[in-house]
Amino acid sequence: MIDCHCHILPGIDDGAHTLEAALDMARAASTSGIEELVCTPHHLNGVYDNPADAIRQASANLQKCLLEVGIPLRVYPGSELHLVPELPRQLLDGAAMTYNDLGKAALIELPKATIPMGAETILEQLLYRGVTPVIAHPERNLRLARRPEQLAEWIARGCKAQLTAQSCSGDFGERMQRLCRRWLESGWVHLIASDAHRAAGRSPDTLAAGRASVAEWLGEEAATLLTCENPRRLLNGEDLVSLAPRADPRTAPARRRWLGFLPWRR
C-alpha cells in the first residue's frame, strides 16, 4: 500500500513530535503493509506554516534515517494545505508543496465545520492552473456531510476526494462509516489514507483496516485502486482513476429499504 496522507515528519506540526516518534510511525506503517508514504505536514492552517523548502529537506532527512535504521519505507514530500485565498499564489510560486513536488496535485484541507467563502473560486483557480485539488477527508466536514451534492459538484469539475481510513473502518462511528460507504458506492472517492499523527491510535496501520472495509463493500480491485494504484498515479503526476458508481447516493441502501415498505412501491 501507499499512504498518501501522513503527519510523520518530526517536530513541524501536530504529528510526530520527535525523530524517534517518526521512526515508530514508520515501523507501524511498514509492518502493516505500507511500502511508500507521502509526508503531508499542515501548511497555512493558522497554526503551522511549512513551506516547500522545509518539507523537501525534512523528507530527505527522514528518508536518510529510515535507511540508516533499516526500516523498508520510502517517503515522498507532500503537504496538507489549508484552503485559504493565498494558496493558489503560493502553489504557483512554489512556496507550497504539491504531491511529490510535481506541481500536479495538492492535498487540500477544509475547516471542520464550514466551507470558507470563495472556496469554489480557489478550487477553480487551482484547476485552471493545472493543479488537481485532492480534498482531504471531506467526510469530516460538517457542511459536506450534510450537503454531499456540493462535493459531487467539485468532483464533476475535476477535484478528487480522499477519505480517512478510520472513517471507513468504523473507528469514528457507524454514521460516518455509512456515509463513507455511500460515497464510495457513488464513485466519488479516489483515495483512502491514514492521516496518521502517532504510532498508536491515529496510526499508519489504520490504513489496512480502512482498506479491508473498502474490499468488503466494493471488492479487492477497488481497494487496490484506492490504496495502491491511485496513490502511485499521484506520485507519478498522472490522472487518478474514478470508481464506477454502484448506487445513486439519493437511493442509498438504507433509504431504498425504507421505501420498500411504502404501499405504492409494492
Cβ-based nearer residue to Fe ion, 139 or 195: 195
- Residue 80 or 185: which CB sits closer to Fe ion? 80
Looking at beta carbons only, is 38 or 115 nearer to Fe ion?
A: 38
Give, in order, the Cα–Cα distances in Å from 192 to each of 94, 169, 225, 230: 26, 11, 10, 10
Q: Assess 13 for contact with Fe ion (CB under 5 A).
A: no
Give the shortest CB-63-to-Fe ion separation in angstroms. 20
Residue 22 identity: A
Residue nearest to Fe ion (CB): 195
CA-CA-CA-CA torsion sign (14, 151, 239, 123): negative
Residues 38-67 that bind Fe ion (CB under 5 A): none
Q: Judging by beta carbons within 10 Å of its beta carbon (0-12, 13-18, 19+), is residue 123 exposed, middle or buried?
A: buried
Scanning 44-52, 55-63, 76-84, 163-171 for contacts with Fe ion by CB under 5 A, the matching segment is 76-84
Going by DSSP bridges, is the β-strand pair 132-136/2-6 parallel, antiparallel, or unpaired?
unpaired
Cα–Cα distance, 253 to 225 (Å, whole number): 23
Least distance in angstroms from the C-beta of 136 to Fe ion: 6
Looking at the Cβ atoms of 66 and 196, the one nearer to Fe ion is 196
Residue number with CB closer to Fe ion (100 or 186): 100
Least Å from the CB of residue 191 to Fe ion: 13
- Count of residues that interact with Fe ion, criterion CB under 5 A: 2
- Tell me how many degrees the CA angle 176-181-186 measures, rounded to the nearest 5: 125
Residues 190/132, Cβ–Cβ less than 8 Å = no
- Measured from the CB atom, the residue of 98 and 186 that comes closer to Fe ion is 98
Residue 255 Cβ, how far from Fe ion at the closest point, in Å? 31
**Three-state DSSP state, 216:** helix
| Strands annotated E in 7-131 | 36-39, 42-43, 74-77, 80-82, 105-109
Q: Which of 3, 13, 80, 139 binds Fe ion (CB under 5 A)?
A: 80
Using CB under 5 A as the binding rule, the residues of this chain from 148 to 207 that contact Fe ion are 195
Point out which residues bind Fe ion (CB under 5 A): 80, 195
